[in-house]
Structure 1
Amino acid sequence: MPQPKVKLVVTGDDFGYCPRRNRGIVECFQSGGVSNVSLLVNATSAVDAADLAKRHRIPIGLHANLSEGAPVSHNLKGSTLLNEDGFFHGKTEFRKVLQSGQLNMYEVEQELRAQVKRFCELVGHLPYHMDGHQHVHVLPEVREVFAQVLADFGICYTRIPVEPGLHACPNIPPQLHDFYTQVQKDALLSVEVFRRHRIRWPDVYLGLTTMGENMSVANIKQALGYALGARCLANSLTVPSTGTQTDEIAAPDTDRPITVELMVHPGYPSDPLEGGCGQGPDDFSQSEDRQHELETLTDPSLLAYYKQESIQLCAFRDL
């Protein structure tokens, strides 16, 4: 067979969040729309998700969670990671606590190690990859701890959420666009940290511009078009002095396929009384956008496009 132009890892995030998310992700995998999943080990349906991954031989990694729900470690009473109710601070508040200098990095490390160990208990092997729920793994200080934990466990792959074309996407609300831009700044500054620890990641990351209602066959094709023309972000990325310019793409290594990760969140909307990570499902999980992503990712025209363009779906373990 001819060598593919792109090796595409389509990762279904938040596996384990609720039974309906699990069911949708498995259906998406069986239909060829997802090739890899990322498990939330502190989610209420994590045990079921791990069993499904084993039963259906779904390649699986760890979606390390420091921002939503209850911790895995039993030694975090009174921790700086937790609010007064004993739950993680949340996506926005976690960042505020970190910026205030009040987050204890030893506690971050303790929780990350506990989540890796819990993953191994559930799945039976180490994660093939490990990234951060709500992109916390690229935040200042956290990225140092995260990279060290990856290196200590021998987990080779992570996610660097720097997306070509983000700044040209007109469909993202301003507030969300600001958040994504900050995520990319943090991600660019994490490159040196992960590289120093010999951690790798796919050449190109996609998923911010194709999330939820913005996902369509046309938008995925457009995003992959950027990837087809993109340089190898993994090993040649030079961090700009401003940390803001992410769309300058150099010539790729033509001797091998470009590797791409597409982050997705397919499933069926959560029941309001079922799921989550200890506090119930959030609005994101209950949104009809979950099913919209599922239907888009399994659209026959998209699967035909992959074949036509020599885009081979694979998993992190195949890289």
Structure 2
Amino acid sequence: MMSASSSPRHSIVFHADDFGMNAAVNAGIEAAFREGLLTSTSLLANAPAAEDACRVWPALMADVQTRRLSSLERRHMLSDPLIPFDLGIHLNLTQGRPLTSNDFSPELLDEEGCFPGIGKLFARINHASDAQMKSVEAELRAQIEWMIARGHHPTHLNGHQYIELIPRIAAIVPALLHDYAIPTVRVACERGLFRSVLLQGDVTGWGLGLVKRHFARAFRRRMANTNVAFPDRFFGTSHAGRIDDATMTRFLASARGTRMTEIGVHPAIDPGPDTPAESDPWFDPLAEFRSKELKLLCSSKLAEELRSRQFSLGRLSALATETWATEAT
């Protein structure tokens, strides 16, 4: 156990999902690392720009090692350890096509052979046969192995549109974490939704947030029985593309007293005119909002607020190491 004399670190992980979705998202995530305070991202292995994301990563890590980041001064102010950033796997069953192609159960796809979206996935997977669930597990394993084959072992695991919270998928996650030695997982059990969502007038978002929190509590109990680590708190389940200064302040105020808090963000540069149409399987409903979150992550105001609240920047990978070390003493 941690001794009473030791001072626990109060750190923030800014995590960006969707790495590999498209060029605008890739560029925004890279900029948020280089110029802002992003510390973590996760890869969409079946996405159109996933290969490009994998090619970008080594150069970014080299610049971390040689201290060639525009955000270096602000990171130093926030006691960033300047160790490699986190790169996890963003498991996906809701968008694009499966990597396992014809081996994936067609009953869990739409008429075009694409994943059907979160609503239809949730409805169908609850009635899926054992054979269909085996195809789901095979697809999730294929996505992890795709990433590993390109030289990137996941530091953590989470799901696109929070699919890891769906009970039948949640039941698969412990085996994935164990078999691929993934030490950290997202547990999106968010408190404070009344203040950060409902009081802002978003009744629908509040309702969806409560549903996610219901499933996240069960997922947290499941993960507590494994050897994987997860941050004390998570914020952002109902705020994709809508995190502004005031929302971030509410998150940080609610993070007081924690060892580590993860905040989910969705940065990107402005996508330009050649964005996918709504009928495209890779249509991004957050496209017009993402650049605002990139600007927030790169702002000196955010850095100053973190400093004034005595937060440091953290890593999910370090949390896993610290958890192991604490349990071993």
TM range (shorter): 0.7 to 0.9
- Measured after TM superposition, the shift of residue 297 of structure 1 is 1.5
Q: 1:20 and 2:24 equivalent?
A: yes
Question: CA separation in 2, counterparts of 1:285 and 1:271?
Answer: 13
Counterpart contact for 2:155–2:182, Cα < 8 Å: yes
Match of 1:236 in 2: none
- Measured after TM superposition, the shift of residue 317 of structure 1 is 1.7
- Measured after TM superposition, the shift of residue 73 of structure 1 is 1.6
Q: 1:164 and 2:191 equivalent?
A: yes
- Measured after TM superposition, the shift of residue 102 of structure 1 is 5.3
Unpaired runs of 5+ residues, structure 1, are 231-257
Match of 1:259 in 2: 260
Counterpart contact for 1:45–1:275, Cα < 8 Å: no
Counterpart contact for 1:162–1:187, Cα < 8 Å: yes
- Measured after TM superposition, the shift of residue 17 of structure 1 is 0.8
Counterpart contact for 2:184–2:228, Cα < 8 Å: yes
1:122-148 Cα deviation digits (max 9, x unpaired): 3x1320001000000011111011221
Question: CA separation in 1, counterparts of 2:30 and 2:250?
Answer: 26
In the TM superposition, 1:120-269 aligns within 5 A as: 120-122=148-150, 124-169=151-196, 170-171=199-200, 173-208=202-237, 210-213=239-242, 215-229=243-257, 258-269=259-270
Q: Residue 266 of structure 2 aligns to which amino acid in structure 1?
A: H
Q: Secondary structure of 2:18's match?
A: strand
1:85-117 Cα deviation digits (max 9, x unpaired): 211111111111123445822111101110010
Alignment length (residue pairs) = 287
In the TM superposition, 1:38-187 aligns within 5 A as: 38-57=42-61, 58-101=85-128, 104-122=132-150, 124-169=151-196, 170-171=199-200, 173-187=202-216
- Measured after TM superposition, the shift of residue 181 of structure 1 is 1.1
- Measured after TM superposition, the shift of residue 280 of structure 1 is 4.6
Aligned in 2, Cα 1:152/1:121: closer, same or farther, shift over 3 Å? same
Counterpart contact for 1:62–1:131, Cα < 8 Å: yes
Q: Residue 97 of structure 2 aligns to which amino acid in structure 1?
A: A
Q: Residue 160 of structure 1 aligns to which amino acid in structure 2?
A: V
Question: CA separation in 1, counterparts of 2:229 and 2:20?
Answer: 25
Question: CA separation in 2, counterparts of 1:49 and 1:274?
Answer: 18
Match of 1:298 in 2: 298
Match of 2:15 in 1: 11
Question: CA separation in 1, counterparts of 2:16 and 2:232?
Answer: 18
Aligned in 2, Cα 1:309/1:26: closer, same or farther, shift over 3 Å? same
Counterpart contact for 2:205–2:238, Cα < 8 Å: no
1:136-173 Cα deviation digits (max 9, x unpaired): 00111110112211111111111111112013332252
RMSD of equivalent CA atoms: 2.3
Q: Secondary structure of 1:61's match?
A: strand
Sequence identity (%)? 27
Counterpart contact for 1:63–1:130, Cα < 8 Å: yes
Question: CA separation in 1, counterparts of 2:272 and 2:281?
Answer: 9
Q: Residue 308 of structure 1 aligns to which amino acid in structure 2?
A: S
Counterpart contact for 2:39–2:314, Cα < 8 Å: yes
- Superposition TM-score, scaled by structure 2 size: 0.80
Match of 2:34 in 1: 30
- Measured after TM superposition, the shift of residue 271 of structure 1 is 4.7
Q: Secondary structure of 1:286's match?
A: coil
Unpaired runs of 5+ residues, structure 2, are 1-5, 62-84, 320-329
1:18-73 Cα deviation digits (max 9, x unpaired): 11111111111112321111111111011111111211014311111011111112
Question: CA separation in 1, counterparts of 2:7 and 2:201?
Answer: 35
Counterpart contact for 1:41–1:62, Cα < 8 Å: yes
Counterpart contact for 1:13–1:38, Cα < 8 Å: yes
Counterpart contact for 1:35–1:313, Cα < 8 Å: yes
Q: 1:317 and 2:317 equivalent?
A: yes
Counterpart contact for 1:269–1:285, Cα < 8 Å: no
- Measured after TM superposition, the shift of residue 227 of structure 1 is 1.1
